A and B are shown apart, each in its own frame.
Chain A
Amino acid sequence: MSSRFVRGILAILPALLLPGCAAKRDAGELFGPSEAGTLVLDAILTVGRPMPDVYLMEALDPSQPFVANAPDVISMEINQGEGINRVTYESVVEVRGRFKTNSTAMILPETRYYFHAVLADGREIRATTMTPPAFDVTRWVLLEEDAETVRQTFRTYEQNGDFVYEQPENQVTYAEGLLEAQFTRPDVPAFQVSIESLDLDSDLVIDPDFLSDEQIADLERTQSSPAIAGDEGTLRLPWLAIYYEGRYRLRAYAIDQNWYDLVRTSPDFGGGGPGFGGSAGDSFERPLFRVEGGIGLFGSASVDSVGFYVHPRP
C-alpha cells in the first residue's frame, strides 16, 4: 500500500464528514413511545380522618400541551376486603377526575384497604394499602446547635389550638437552633415531613444574593422532605426549607410502603439519586408505583403536626 494512498485517505476522510455539523432535531423525537391514556390514581388515606377524595385521571402524550384528562368510570370503591366495609365513590361533576364518597367512616390504623375501579372501556385499576399505626410526636423542640440540648419545647395544637403561633415557646428566630420532632418510632418504612408558610404575604428571612428576582419569586411556601428513616425516633427540619417569616405548620407523616416507594424513587417528590444529566439523566427512572392497571399512589399515613412563628434574624 503506498503512502500516497494512505495520506490521501487520512486527509480526505475528515473533510468528507464536515457537512454533518448541525446536531439539531425536532424536539418531538426526544420522546419515547407514548403511554398516553395510562390510568393515574391519586388517593391518600390518613389514619383517624374520613375517607378521602380520590382522583383518577389519564396520562397524556408528553409532547402535547398539558390538560387534565379523566376517563369514564363505571364503578369505584374502597373496602377492607371482599364486601367488608365497602365504601363507594361517585364522580364530582364539576371536577373531572375527582371522586367523592358520602361515607362517614374513619380510616383505621393498621388496617388493609383495597381500591378497585372499573372503567367504561373495560379497564380495571386496583391497589391496596396497609395503614400505619397511630403516630404522635412526643414533643416538638428547638435544640441548641452545638450542645443539642433542648432550648424550648413547642406548645401543640392539642394544648393551644390556633393560638400556638402566639405562645412564647413557639417563637423561633430564623437559623437559630435546630427544629426537631421526638417520638417513639412506630413500625413504618419511613417518615416524611412537610412545612407550610401560612402568611402568604410575609417577607423573606433569607438574603439570597445569588438568586435572581424571578428565582426569589418562585421560592415555595410549602415544601416536603424526602423519605426519612427516623431510626433514632427523631426528625429534624433543616432551615433551608424556610424562606419567609411568619406562621408555619409543620407536619410529620409516618408513611406506608406505597407512599414510601413513591417518594424514595421519584425525583419529583424528593427521591432518586443525585444523578447527572437533566431530567433524563442518570436517575431518570420510572418511580415505583404500587398500582395494578395504572400508575400513581394509593397510600396511607398517620400524621401529627405543630405550629410555630419564624422571626427574622435581628
Chain B
Amino acid sequence: MSLLEGRRRPPAPPAKLALAGTGRARGAVIALLAAGSLVPPVFAGTLRGQVTDQATGAPLPLARVTFESEGTLEETRANTDGYWRTELDPGRWIVRIAFLEHTMSVDTVTVAAEGEQVLDRALVPESRMETLEVTADPWQGVDDRPSAVRLDARALRSLPAFGEVDPIRTLQYLPGVQAISDISSGLYIRGGGPDQNLILLDGVPIYNPTHAFGLFSTFNADVVRDVTLYKGAYPAAYSGRLGAVLDVTTAPGADDGIHGTVGLSTITGRLSVGGPTGRGHWHVAGRRTYLDPLLDQLRKSTPEIPAYYFYDLNGKFDSRIGEYGLLEWNGYLGRDDLHVDLDADSFVDQRWGNRATSLRYRHDLGDATLALTGSISRYDGDTSVQIFTTPISFGNDLEDRSVGLDWNRDMGNRILRMGAQTSFYRFRLDQDFNGESQGTVKETPWDASMFFEDEWRFGERANVRFGLRVRRFSEGDRILWEPRGSGVWPLSETTRIRAATGLYHQYLQLVSTEGFSGGDFYLPLDETTKPGRSWQNVLGMEWEPSREWRFTLEGYGSVLRDLVRFDDNQTAGDTDTSTDSIFLTGGKGWSAGAELFAERRFGNVTGWIGYTLGWTRREFAEVNGGKPYPPKYDRRHDFSAVATWKRGVWTFSDTWTYGTGQAFTPATARYSIRDPATGGVSEYGYVLPGEKNSARLLPYHRMDVAAIRDFTAFGRPAKFMIQVFNLYSRRNEWFVQYDTSASDAGAEVVQQLPVIPSLGVEFEF
C-alpha cells in the first residue's frame, strides 16, 4: 500500500511538464506551461504513486514518469523520496516510469474525471554491474544543482578499493576532490580541508568519519544507498561548514522478503540483513576487523605489535503511520580500539568512535511534505599514554542534540522549502600530563537556524533557486545571514550553463593532523573569535551530445575570511582555554580553479575522466612571516580516469590518478645554537625551514584495478573480487625528513604504500 493510497484531497496544481518535440519550440512551450500549469484542468483526474527499487526497497529519487495519450505527451518527476503525482485529463494513458539502470515499467491506466488512482511501481534493477552512474543530471535521477555529484551503491561497489569498499575513498576519484595520502580517507575539496566538510549519515552529522587513523571511512558500503557530494556553493538546507557537504543515505530493507549479504574482505567480515516488517522495513548491518588472532600471535614474539580492531553497526527502520505518515529511525555505532604494550611502565591506549541516531516523522500533505527530525550524534576520543611511568592523557567529547522541522511544497513549476533547526552541543577537552591538568575545555553552546529556498522551474531543463539561511550561535551573540542561490539554464538542445553562489560560516572547528585522523578533536569558537566565513561561487557549462555522453566544465572561486588554525606553539600547562588562545585567528584565504568532467554513462565500458586545475592560498599573521602560502593540499593539476568494463560474468574496473606533488617546506640552511636551558650543542646543528610549503614532492600517480566475477553459490548470487591497489607499485612520496644525526646526512623521502592485492567474497541471500 502506498503512503498516499486512498487519500482524498482537493485538486492541486499539477506537477506536469510538457515535452516539446523540438528544441526550437521548447522555449515557447516552457513559457506557456510555466504560466498555464498553475491552472488545473477542469475535471482532471489524479494519478500518483511511489517509485522504488525492487531489490532494495529504496525509493528512486527524481525518477522520470511520462504519460502518453492520443499524441499528447506529458511528464513529471518523482521527488527525492520517490513519490510523484500529476493530474491528467480523463481517458486512457500509457504511463512509463524510468530510472537509470532499471527496467522501465509501462502501464495503461484509465483516468476518471476527478478520480484518484495509485500506481506504485518497484523497478527491477538491471544487471548490477552493467553500468556505472556518476551524475548530477535530472535525467539520471539526482539533484540538479551545480557542483552536486551523486554516486549510487552500485557505482561505489564496482570500483577498485583498498581492501575494503569505501564510499569516501571512491569520491577521491572525482575532479575537485583529493586525498592527502594513500592512508587517508579525508576529503580535500576545492581547496578546503576535511575540517571544512559537513558529513551527514541519514541527515545526522558524523564528526569523525574514519576508522584505522583515516585508512577507512566509517561508512559500510553494504548499507549505503547513495552518496551525494556538494563540492561547493551548497544549498540553504545545509549549513555549518565553509566548504562542502557529503550526504550519505542508507538503504531501507527489501520489500520482497528478508535478504542480505555476507562478505569477507582482507580486512573485515560483514553481515547485512533487511526486509519488510508490518507496514515498513528494517535493515541492520555490521562489520568488524578479524585480524585480532593474527596480531595476538605476532605479539607473543614482538610485544610492541599493537592490539587493534574496529567495528561498526548500522540500523534502519521505517514504518507507515496512518495513511499519510512515515516514521524512520536510523542508528550508527562505530568504535576503534588500539592498545600497545611497550613495557611494564609504558603503554598506549587509544579509543575513539561515533554514535548517531535519528528519528524522523514525515507527513504527507498532498503537494507538501512536513518532516520533524530529532537526532543525537556523539563523537568521543580518549588517548591514554604512559611513558616510563609518566602518565599522559587526552580526551575529547562532542555531543550534538538537534531537532529540526522541514516543510517542502512542490507546485509543479515551483518548489518551496523551509526549515528550522536547533542544535545543542556539549564539548569536553581534557589534557593531563604527569598528573597535572594542561587545560580543560567544557562548553555547551547552541545553534539555531532557519532557512528558506524558493525554486522556480522553467521547463524540464531550467531552474533558478533563491535561498537564505539565518543562524544564531550562542557564543558571541551574532546573527549570521547566509544567502544562497543557483541556476541552470539551457543554451541549446544539448548545452546548459550552471551557476551558484553562497555565503557560509563555521563555528565548530576540527583540529586534525594532515596525514592521519586518530587524534582529531573538535572545539567550538567562543565570543573571542569571529566565525570563519566563506563566499563560494561556481560557474559552469554542461554539454550532453547524447544520453551516453556528458561533459561538464565548471569554474569555482572561494574567498575565505576569519579562518582559524590550531596554534601548535602553545605553552605547556597554559590554562587559558579561550578560542583566541587555542587558535591562530584572523586568517585569510582563497581558492580558485576549473574542473573538466567527461563521462560515459551507458554501454559495456563506462566511466569518466576528470581534470582539475586549481590554486589555494592561506594567510595568517603568525605563519610564514605573515606572507600567503599554499597549504599542503594545494594542487595545480589533478587528473583521474575511471573505467568499468562488463564482460559476461566478469566486471573489470580500473582507476588511474595523477596529481601535482604536495607542497612541503624545504630546509634552506643548517645552523647551530646551544639549547638555552641545558647549554648542550647539537653536534651537527639543526635545519632551518624555508618559506612555508615552497617546494613540491614529485607528482603523484597510481593505478588500481579490480576484477569481480559473478557466480552462484547454493542457488544464490555471489561475487568473488580481486583488487590490486597501486598496480605498478609506484612508491609515491609521502613526506621528507631531514637527518641531522651526522655531518653529511641529508634529506630522506618517506614513501607511501607499494602494490597491495586483496581478495574478497560476497554472498547474497
Contact assessment for A62 and B668 in the assembled complex, using a CB-CB cutoff below 8 Å:
yes
| Distance of A301 from chain B, by nearest CB (Å) | 7
Scan residues 188-231 of chain A and give those whose CB is less than 8 A from a CB of chain B: 189-190, 192-194, 196, 206-210, 222-231
- Convert A161-179 into 0s and 1s, putting 1 for each residue whose CB lies closer than 8 angstroms to a CB of B: 0000000000000110010
Contact assessment for B570 and A264 in the assembled complex, using a CB-CB cutoff below 8 Å:
yes
Max chain A C-beta neighbours (<10 A), residue from B436, B670, B729, B737: B670
Contact assessment for B569 and A297 in the assembled complex, using a CB-CB cutoff below 8 Å:
no
Compute how far the CA of A32 lies from the CA of B573 in the bound complex, rounded to whole angstroms: 35
Contact assessment for A262 and B743 in the assembled complex, using a CB-CB cutoff below 8 Å:
no
Compute how far the CA of A210 lies from the CA of B379 in the bound complex, rounded to whole angstroms: 32
A10-B605, A280-B666 known; A206 vs B747 contact (CB < 8 Å)? no
Query: Which listed residue (A55, A210, A251, A278) contacts B735, Cβ 8 A?
Result: A278
Contacts of A206 in B (CB 8 A): 345, 388
| B691 interfacial by beta-carbon distance below 8 Å | yes
| B321 interfacial by beta-carbon distance below 8 Å | no
Selected interface stretch from B219-227, B463-471, B674-682: B674-682
Selected interface stretch from B21-29, B589-597, B710-718, B748-756: B748-756
Selected interface stretch from B69-77, B288-296, B443-451, B509-517: B509-517
Selected interface stretch from B6-14, B43-51, B695-703: B695-703
Contact assessment for B750 and A278 in the assembled complex, using a CB-CB cutoff below 8 Å:
yes
| A299 interfacial by beta-carbon distance below 8 Å | yes
Contact assessment for A224 and B736 in the assembled complex, using a CB-CB cutoff below 8 Å:
no
A3-B605, A226-B572, A274-B513 known; A269 vs B304 contact (CB < 8 Å)? no
| A23 interfacial by beta-carbon distance below 8 Å | yes
Compute how far the CA of A263 lies from the CA of B678 in the bound complex, rounded to whole angstroms: 12
Contact assessment for A23 and B731 in the assembled complex, using a CB-CB cutoff below 8 Å:
yes
Contact assessment for A278 and B689 in the assembled complex, using a CB-CB cutoff below 8 Å:
no
| A35 interfacial by beta-carbon distance below 8 Å | yes
Contact assessment for B549 and A1 in the assembled complex, using a CB-CB cutoff below 8 Å:
yes
Query: Which listed residue (B389, B666, B735, B747) contacts A239, Cβ 8 A?
Result: B389
Contact assessment for A209 and B303 in the assembled complex, using a CB-CB cutoff below 8 Å:
yes
Contact assessment for B688 and A23 in the assembled complex, using a CB-CB cutoff below 8 Å:
no
| B728 interfacial by beta-carbon distance below 8 Å | yes
Contact assessment for B434 and A224 in the assembled complex, using a CB-CB cutoff below 8 Å:
no
**Tally of A interface residues using CB under 8 Å:** 107
Contact assessment for A210 and B737 in the assembled complex, using a CB-CB cutoff below 8 Å:
no
- Convert B729-744 into 0s and 1s, putting 1 for each residue whose CB lies closer than 8 angstroms to a CB of A: 1111111111010011
| B31 interfacial by beta-carbon distance below 8 Å | no
A60-B685, A277-B735, A278-B750 known; A240 vs B605 contact (CB < 8 Å)? no
Contact assessment for B623 and A6 in the assembled complex, using a CB-CB cutoff below 8 Å:
no
| B343 interfacial by beta-carbon distance below 8 Å | yes
Q: Which residue of A lies closest to B673 (CB)?
A: A42
| A187 interfacial by beta-carbon distance below 8 Å | no
Query: Which listed residue (B436, B605, B734, B735) contacts A236, Cβ 8 A?
Result: B436
Q: Which residue of A lies closest to B733 (CB)?
A: A23
Contact assessment for A55 and B673 in the assembled complex, using a CB-CB cutoff below 8 Å:
yes
Contact assessment for A18 and B573 in the assembled complex, using a CB-CB cutoff below 8 Å:
no
Compute how far the CA of A150 lies from the CA of B59 in the bound complex, rounded to whole angstroms: 69
Max chain B C-beta neighbours (<10 A), residue from A20, A68, A210, A278: A278
| Distance of A92 from chain B, by nearest CB (Å) | 15
Scan residues 274-314 of chain A and give those whose CB is less than 8 A from a CB of chain B: 274-286, 295-297, 299, 301
Query: Which listed residue (B390, B435, B515, B574) contacts A277, Cβ 8 A?
Result: B515
Contact assessment for B690 and A264 in the assembled complex, using a CB-CB cutoff below 8 Å:
no
| Distance of A197 from chain B, by nearest CB (Å) | 11
| A268 interfacial by beta-carbon distance below 8 Å | yes
| A160 interfacial by beta-carbon distance below 8 Å | no
Compute how far the CA of A178 lies from the CA of B735 in the bound complex, rounded to whole angstroms: 39
| A131 interfacial by beta-carbon distance below 8 Å | no
| Distance of B329 from chain A, by nearest CB (Å) | 38
Contact assessment for A251 and B667 in the assembled complex, using a CB-CB cutoff below 8 Å:
no
Contacts of A31 in B (CB 8 A): 666-668, 747
Q: Which residue of A lies closest to B665 (CB)?
A: A284
| Distance of B453 from chain A, by nearest CB (Å) | 37
Contact assessment for A66 and B684 in the assembled complex, using a CB-CB cutoff below 8 Å:
yes
| B199 interfacial by beta-carbon distance below 8 Å | no
| B600 interfacial by beta-carbon distance below 8 Å | yes
Contact assessment for B746 and A13 in the assembled complex, using a CB-CB cutoff below 8 Å:
no
Contacts of B515 in A (CB 8 A): 276-277, 281-282
A23-B751, A31-B666, A295-B671 known; A240 vs B730 contact (CB < 8 Å)? no
Compute how far the CA of A20 lies from the CA of B731 in the bound complex, rounded to whole angstroms: 11
Compute how far the CA of A227 lies from the CA of B749 in the bound complex, rounded to whole angstroms: 31
Q: Which residue of A lies closest to B623 (CB)?
A: A285
| A48 interfacial by beta-carbon distance below 8 Å | no
Contacts of B740 in A (CB 8 A): 66
Max chain B C-beta neighbours (<10 A), residue from A38, A285, A297: A285
| A120 interfacial by beta-carbon distance below 8 Å | no
Scan residues 254-269 of chain A and give those whose CB is less than 8 A from a CB of chain B: 255, 259-260, 262-266, 268-269
Compute how far the CA of A263 lies from the CA of B572 in the bound complex, rounded to whole angstroms: 11
| B578 interfacial by beta-carbon distance below 8 Å | no
Contacts of A271 in B (CB 8 A): 569
Compute how far the CA of A251 lies from the CA of B558 in the bound complex, rounded to whole angstroms: 51
| A93 interfacial by beta-carbon distance below 8 Å | no
| B127 interfacial by beta-carbon distance below 8 Å | no
Query: Which listed residue (A63, A148, A277, A297) contacts B746, Cβ 8 A?
Result: A63
Contact assessment for A268 and B573 in the assembled complex, using a CB-CB cutoff below 8 Å:
no
| B624 interfacial by beta-carbon distance below 8 Å | yes
- Convert A8-33 into 0s and 1s, putting 1 for each residue whose CB lies closer than 8 angstroms to a CB of B: 00110110011011110101101111
Contact assessment for B575 and A225 in the assembled complex, using a CB-CB cutoff below 8 Å:
no
Compute how far the CA of A32 lies from the CA of B672 in the bound complex, rounded to whole angstroms: 18
Query: Which listed residue (B571, B698, B728) contacts A228, Cβ 8 A?
Result: B571
| B361 interfacial by beta-carbon distance below 8 Å | no
Contacts of A296 in B (CB 8 A): 671, 673
Contact assessment for B665 and A285 in the assembled complex, using a CB-CB cutoff below 8 Å:
yes
Contact assessment for B703 and A14 in the assembled complex, using a CB-CB cutoff below 8 Å:
yes
Contacts of A78 in B (CB 8 A): none
Max chain A C-beta neighbours (<10 A), residue from B545, B548, B746, B751: B746
| Distance of A39 from chain B, by nearest CB (Å) | 10
| A145 interfacial by beta-carbon distance below 8 Å | yes
Compute how far the CA of A30 lies from the CA of B345 in the bound complex, rounded to whole angstroms: 39
Q: Which residue of A lies closest to B752 (CB)?
A: A23
| B692 interfacial by beta-carbon distance below 8 Å | yes
| B481 interfacial by beta-carbon distance below 8 Å | no
| A272 interfacial by beta-carbon distance below 8 Å | yes
A30-B666, A239-B388 known; A277 vs B734 contact (CB < 8 Å)? yes
| A44 interfacial by beta-carbon distance below 8 Å | yes
Contact assessment for A280 and B671 in the assembled complex, using a CB-CB cutoff below 8 Å:
no
Contact assessment for A227 and B673 in the assembled complex, using a CB-CB cutoff below 8 Å:
no
Query: Which listed residue (B344, B435, B670, B735) contacts A62, Cβ 8 A?
Result: B670
If A194-B675, A265-B569, A274-B568 are given as contacts, then 14 extra A-B residue pairs at C-beta distance below 8 Å, sorted by A number, are A7-B605, A23-B698, A61-B670, A62-B669, A62-B746, A145-B435, A175-B388, A224-B677, A226-B572, A229-B574, A238-B433, A240-B387, A264-B569, A277-B734
12 A-B contact pairs sorted by A residue (CB < 8 Å): A6-B605, A27-B747, A30-B747, A32-B665, A32-B666, A33-B668, A38-B688, A40-B673, A230-B573, A238-B433, A253-B676, A299-B676
Closest 9 CB pairs of A and B: A273-B568, A32-B666, A278-B737, A32-B690, A277-B735, A224-B677, A30-B747, A276-B515, A59-B669
